[in-house]
Structure 1
Amino acid sequence: MIKKISLAVLTLGILASCVSPKVYKELESKYNNLKKENRKLADDNEILLAGKTNAENELKKLKEAYDSAVEERDHLKNEYDATRANLDNLKASYAALEKNSSAAIAANSKKNRELLAQLEAKEQALNAESERLEKLKRELEQRSNRVAELEKVIADKDMAMRKLKNAISRALTDFEGKGLTVEQRNGKVYVSMENKLLFESGSWAVGGEGRRAVQQLGAVLGENPDVAVLIEGHTDNVPYQGHGVLSDNWDLSTKRATAIVNILRENASINPENLTAAGRGEYAPIASNDTPDGRATNRRIEVILTPKLDELTELLNENE
């Protein structure tokens, strides 16, 4: 196109020297129009070239995307084909299993129903046992509380008896070494007084020193109204040789126990309901009767002090 315009310009120059002014102007006008058209065509050509470049770039991207999509499609297709093959194999295996195991499935179903029935029975038994255990647990807790209460009552009684024993020991200090002992055993206090401190041989009349000892014991007992007092009379095994109102050692031991009770009753602070007299004769010795010392030891009055267990009895009755 540029060559054509250059040729036209050259031709126009040649003609200008040969043509009239009017023709020249017409040619010049045509030249200018051609020149404008050439510029416009050049601009259009640039736009087209730029469009072409963009189109080529877009085409390249589309081709790359297409190739990637084809690759992904082929990959997916391969996975689909493999999955499809696995599915077909599984279907075939399932069909074979279903065909061959119908009887086994029926047997298993029956067994499952039986096991389910057994399980329900076990569950019911377990629930019943759980309820029983819960009831036993409550009862055990109640019993434990009762035992704790009983242990506390017993401990309190033991403490009270220890205090009583100490109080009696202090009250009877003057008679230590004179055939009097005080000890605590099995929750009870035992005050043992040999007959030589209390009585003349074969007599149940209490002497002056013995009376004083019993009265001092009674002073302590009067301050402890919750104690049961058992007075036991004991002799040795030598038969009673006296005459008159006594018949034997048992009778003598009872008279002596009663004599001690009568002295204690002189103390108005002692409740007579707490006193008991008993004769044991020679049938509860604490030493051998083969020696004079042993026989002297066996001839004794034992005052057995026992805490009243009314509270303990009530607790035990509540447990029944």
Structure 2
Amino acid sequence: MKKVVIALSLVMLLTSCVSNKKYAALEAKNKETQDLLNSCTVKLNSCLEEKAGLKATVDGLKDQNQNLIAQSKDMTVLTKQGAQNIEKALESIKEKDLKISRMQDALTKKDSVTLAVVTSLKSVVGLNDEDIEINVEKGVVFISISDKMLFKSGSYNVTDKAKGVLEKVAKVVNDKPDFECMVEGHTDNVPYNGKGDLIDNWDLSVKRSTSIIRVLSEQLSVNPAQLIAAGRSSYVPLVSNDTAENRAKNRRTRIYVMPKIDQFYEMVEKEMKKQQP
């Protein structure tokens, strides 16, 4: 009986000893595993945080990229619009330059015609008489004739001497059916004395103009539709009316030979049509 008890005690003692060793080993293994788990958990959390940060960065870059794409599209639209605006502006400038060029060509042609009229007048009228002036003023040809050559003092009846000059003027005008002839009377500033049917210098200047027009149309066959009567009285003097000599210079008749306004515009239109691409 004692042997049995001793044997059982030994068995229990041995069994107890083995269990403690295994437990200690398991405990150590468990701690190692726990430490590894904790380490992995820390790394996992770190990775998750890094992932969240990277995701935020990626999302930000995506938004930025979208904004850049949108801006790029806007810039493309703006660039196209700007290019179209520049193209339109250049086209407008080109068109204006062309119009200016055509106008200049028309004016050059008009100047050529004006020069031809001056040459014609100078060739037929002559330059020997100091009482006759042929010149160009503001692009218009005119003949200025002293009144002492055309009229007697205070009269609007054309003298026989004047008709010789008017014949030469009529020849040039008749050669230019597309031109107009304006006869403009001027007086000095001495008040008209009121004799006869004239009231003042206005009347005298206009009457002298119409008298010359009647000679041109009725005696020298100038088309009346080409003639214009005008009177300026004493209000456009060449020089001051302070001496008898100066007053004589201011008493004059100017005959303008000029293209009709509508004829000039037709000339411009023809030049523009001629140069159209």
Q: Which secondary structure does the structure 2 equivalent of 1:189 belong to? A: strand
TM-score (norm: length of structure 2):
0.72
- Tell me, what secondary structure is at the counterpart of 1:281? coil
The answer to whether residue 66 in structure 2 is matched with residue 113 in structure 1 is: yes
Secondary structure, aligned partner of 2:191:
coil
> TM-score, with normalisation over the residues of structure 1?
0.63
Alignment of structure 1 residues 85-234 onto 2, 5 Å: 101-173=54-126, 176-177=129-130, 179-234=131-186
Between the aligned partners of 1:102 and 1:271, the Cα distance in structure 2 is: 98
* 1:296 is aligned to 2:248: yes
- 8 Å contact 2:178–2:263 — kept in the other structure? no
Question: Quick one: distance in 2 between partners of 1:180 and 1:240?
Answer: 25
CA distance in 2, matches of 1:130, 1:201: 74
Mapped partners of 2:51, 2:147: distance in 1: 106
Please list every run of 5 or more consecutive structure 2 residues that lacks an aligned counterpart in the other structure. 1-49
> Which ranges of structure 1 fall in alignment gaps of 5 or more residues?
1-96
Q: Aligned in 2, Cα 1:103/1:181: closer, same or farther, shift over 3 Å?
A: same
Q: Confirm whether residue 277 of structure 1 aligns to residue 229 of structure 2.
A: yes
Contact 1:236 1:298 in 2 (8 A): yes
Once the 2 structures are TM-superposed, how far is the Cα of residue 197 of structure 1 from its aligned partner?
0.9
Cα deviation per residue 1:246-302 (whole Å; 9 max; x = unaligned)?
A: 00000000000111111221333x332221101110111111011111111111101
Equivalence for 1:237:
189
Question: Offset at 1:139?
Answer: 3.5
Give the drift of 1:109: 2.8
Distance 2:263 2:145 in 1: 31
Tell me the amino acid that sits aligned with residue 224 of structure 1.
K
Q: How does 1:26-65 map to 2 (within 5 A)?
A: none
Distance 1:98 1:289, change over 3 A: farther
CA contact (8 A) 1:234 1:284 kept: yes
Q: Taking CA–CA contacts closer than 8 Å with sequence separation of 6 or more, which of the two structures ends up with the larger relative contact order?
A: 2
For 1:183 and 1:306, locate their aligned partners in 2 and report how far apart those are by CA, in whole Å.
Answer: 12
The verdict on how the C-alpha distance between 1:311 and 1:304 changes in structure 2, with shifts beyond 3 A counting, is closer
